[in-house]
Structure formats: C-alpha cells, structure tokens
Structure 1
Amino acid sequence: MTDHMPMPKVSRLEVVSTGARRRWTLEEKQRIVTESYGGPRLVSVTARRNGLSTSQLFTWRRLAREGKLSGDGAPALVPVEITPVAAPVSISAPQPTSSASAQRARVGIIEIELGAGCRVRVDRDVDGEALRRVLELLRRQ
C-alpha cells in the first residue's frame, strides 16, 4: 500500500510564449510556393528553411492551384461620380411636402456602378458592413 501524501502547492508557474504570429506578405507566400515546386521532396526542406510548418505550405500550394493565392482578392478602388439628383419637373401646382423624413429620403442616395450593367443604389444611412458584403458578392459574379 502506498501512502497518500498531499501534493505540494505550486509556488512558481512559468509561462512560455511562442511569440507573435508571423504575417506573410503575398509576395513571400508566392515565392515560397514557387520554391517548393523546385524539385522532389522540397516541401519539407522549403518549409523548414522559411520557418513554417509543412501543413501551412501545403495549404498555400492548394490555394495557389485554386487561384486563391493571388492579389486579385484584394479590394479594388473604383472611380466614383457624385451627381446631384435633379428634381422632377411638374406642370401641375406644387404639392405640399409630406414630411421631413420623405424629403431626406430623396437626398443622399449613393449609386455604385460595378460594370457589366450592374448598378447598386443605397441610402446614405446604409450599414457599411452589409454594403461591403453585398458588393463583395456582386464583384465575384
């Protein structure tokens, strides 16, 4: 039979940090992927030489084959033209304005032309994150 002795309390705890994650630029990723195709069994050698895991390098190679490791995925700037909204011409007597909110609704419309006949009109109060997601989806089509 063994005697059960209470475990001593930990008096010191050492935390070992692995450091911050490395951020690889697109050019570095493309260079490393190209280097890994240089000969047989170069994936592990290339990964070791550049300080990354082989699984990460295989992921980059797969993305490159699928065309997803290119600069095309970066958001692009497009020209914007701001034009005033012309008031409709009416021959009849002017109608009284319905409300202040109706007047505000006519002002502040943003029109975004994506090309290929695709045009998006949004109000000035549009949620920026929602608009970004919609434009991203339309740009992919």
Structure 2
Amino acid sequence: MDAHEDTRRIQVLSVSDTGRRRRWTDDEKIRIVEESHGGGVTLAEVARRHDISRSQLYDWRYRHKHGLLGAMPQFLRVLQVADCSGPDDVPAPPAPVLTIDLGPRCRVTIPSGFDMEAAARLLNGLMVRP
C-alpha cells in the first residue's frame, strides 16, 4: 500500500471575517507609527496588536517619514504671467525666497519657511507646456 492513502485528503481552513472596512484617523495612524518605532517591540507585534497588516504599517511609516501623514498641505500663490519680458511683471514676494525660472512663461517662487522636500515634489511633478 502507498503511504499517500493514509494521509488526509481534505484540510479544513478557518476563515475569519473582520466585517466592514475600518477607517483610521491621522492621529491614530501617527500614534501607531510612533509605537512601532519604540524600543523592544517589532513591527509585526505592533501590526498584530492593532489588527492591521505589516504592509499597511510600512506604508504609514513611509508616509509619516516623508511628511505625508497628518500634515496639512502648504500651497503657494500662483500667478499667470502674460509676458515675462522683465522682472517687474510679478510683484516681489517678501525676502528671503527662492525663485526658479522654468522658461519664458513659468516662474516658481518658494518662501524661505516652506518645506524643501515638498517643493522638490512640486517641481518634480510640474510639467512645463510649450
């Protein structure tokens, strides 16, 4: 007789349903992320404790690290410039600032207190049209 005939052919798996989709506030996410950075605790333990996946916690940690979690977006004033023939076309913002000319019709002015990582993301996503 073959050994495979003595083994169980059907295996019963239990499935647990969590119900509805959960919503986490930014404050709750930040609290969980800060808990995951605590000493003596693993990321898997924190995820298990709060009944979330490790990948979800990794995503929250990434977003928290890059200022995308719980931070209110900062906006710059955008002015349409008809003709950029001289520096007097756009009113001068309060100094000190960083002004970047991206062509004859596009100029980005960044105030000194603005988050430079956010400015880099803005400039990387900016498409200049001819």
Coarse TM-score class (shorter-chain normalised): 0.3 to 0.5
**Pair member with larger Rg:** 1
TM-score normalised by length of structure 2: 0.43
Higher-RCO chain (CA-CA 8 Å, sequence separation at least 6): 2
TM-score normalised by length of structure 1: 0.40
